[in-house]
Structure 1
């Protein structure tokens, strides 16, 4: 099994494709396998490294506290173990918060940075969202919790068009053989709440792309705008009519936009190699 020891825990990861390394960090309560629909596009160009964050999937679920800074150290330790000096980083939701901390703590290791449905600090509303999800996970059956989560991350339009898909996901959550423990989920929620890079993001020099849905009610659009105001060189892509899951409900467009960005910012040595092969 692809497990490595890092930062005092076992971290589970999988690899797909060849090329420059691309670290993929998923969000709250999710494991790296949820990148599947994106990796199908990315793996033709990049060595994709799908990480199960601390507390999720096949990784250790230690007692907290967790923080995005700790999880960034986990990820950088994974790169050390794999002998990778530099990589592209892309994170969705909590994964984007982890990616911010990685870029701040090890700027020389980041080729490009993609922040999807992100935030630099919780406002009162977003703090309440994470607290409510933590309480719900502690109290609700898995299918009911999945339904609540879907109401927050998917738009009403997506529910109208894909209700059967959402209902299947609810039943899958109920049948999951090894669900995330309550303490691990709560610890990830606390990491999201305590995440605070506001005022520091201006130090990020890596090429940066910010993507967000304008109907996101989980981490609303103004939170991404605040990041863009600090990382002044960042590119920003707003998916109109889409919510927190713009990366899924606008899959082809999202893959095209993010892949184009990363390909434009491959290191010169790789770009020259590709030109020679062509």
Structure 2
């Protein structure tokens, strides 16, 4: 069961499951702890996993004041401190991966390793244009359903649209009682548009695994590769048939790969950079 955790003046919604080495899961735009359900279900036999709703998302309110990457990293650090978690393996996707990077720089005592899915160092012209597109799309879409269907074109593979997985995601989100407002999503995205820390990856001093989707038109592999090249010793893998969120579309593969990385770190081994061949997709679905 989830619960709110007090972090400074904010009540942050968290969910913690499992037993073992600690893992912190940090989601992206509009995504709540439910976005990590395949990981909360599939890895709890090996790890104690903590997920959170970022400020302005789900059951965590959006307080007054600026929303920045640093502020969200402090929120994540505050959750770990409040729960009495020491250093954790930290995984983040999309905007959550940037928060994870910042957390590793601001509070290295709390981060044992990083898994960065669909990440970047600084949004380039293309990604900035896409972030602004989402900001106005959420404001002008004729309905919530229309926004989700349009937004998900860039988030999930064509196969997930064709096999009904995306349609199921849309229905789940329409039924979700703790919806993010258009204004809160826009403020969240502003944090990344305003972010100006291109040297952040080079300041990271923990083992890192950087994953990218080969058909992701937003956080493209070239951006993830640049992050991996800047982090000393980081591993980089581009999965050619995957998009922005393979941890939902191919969760078995994603969990297996991330578990292997964490086990290397736990064993004190130094994960070695490598490129991995793609594999056939498994059935999609978020559960």
- Is the CA contact 1:97–1:195 (under 8 Å) kept in the aligned structure 2? no
SS at match of 2:126: helix
Unpaired runs of 5+ in structure 1? 269-278
CA deviation map 1:44-98 (0-9, x unaligned): 1111001111111111122452111110000111111112221110001111111
Between 169-178 and 116-125, report the one with greater CA deviation. 169-178
TM-score of the aligned structures, taking structure 1 as reference length: 0.90
Between 189-198 and 233-242, report the one with greater CA deviation. 189-198
CA 1:2–1:171 in 2, change beyond 3 Å: closer, same or farther? closer
- Is the CA contact 1:3–1:11 (under 8 Å) kept in the aligned structure 2? yes
Cα distance in 1 for residues equivalent to 2:114 and 2:174: 35
Deviation at 1:195, TM superposition (A): 3.1
Alignment of 1:40-55 (within 5 A): 40-55=41-56
Cα distance in 1 for residues equivalent to 2:79 and 2:169: 30
Q: Say if 2:147 is the partner of 1:145.
A: yes
CA 1:180–1:170 in 2, change beyond 3 Å: closer, same or farther? same
Cα distance in 2 for residues equivalent to 1:168 and 1:20: 33
User: Going by fraction, where is helix more abundant, 1 or 2?
Assistant: 1
Partner of 1:265: 265
SS at match of 1:30: coil
Cα distance in 2 for residues equivalent to 1:191 and 1:7: 20
Partner of 2:285: none
Q: RMSD of the alignment, in Å?
A: 1.6
Deviation at 1:103, TM superposition (A): 0.2
Cα distance in 2 for residues equivalent to 1:219 and 1:64: 27
Aligned pairs, number = 266
Between 196-205 and 220-229, report the one with greater CA deviation. 196-205
CA 1:89–1:2 in 2, change beyond 3 Å: closer, same or farther? same
Partner of 1:228: 228
TM-score of the aligned structures, taking structure 2 as reference length: 0.88
- Is the CA contact 1:94–1:118 (under 8 Å) kept in the aligned structure 2? yes
CA 1:196–1:254 in 2, change beyond 3 Å: closer, same or farther? farther
SS at match of 2:82: helix
Partner of 1:273: none
Partner of 1:124: 125
Partner of 2:58: 57
CA 1:110–1:175 in 2, change beyond 3 Å: closer, same or farther? closer
Deviation at 1:267, TM superposition (A): 6.8
Q: Please point out which of 154, 157, 164 is paired with 1:155.
A: 157
Deviation at 1:155, TM superposition (A): 2.2
Partner of 1:180: 180
CA 1:14–1:267 in 2, change beyond 3 Å: closer, same or farther? farther
Unpaired runs of 5+ in structure 2? 269-287
Partner of 2:282: none
Partner of 2:201: 201
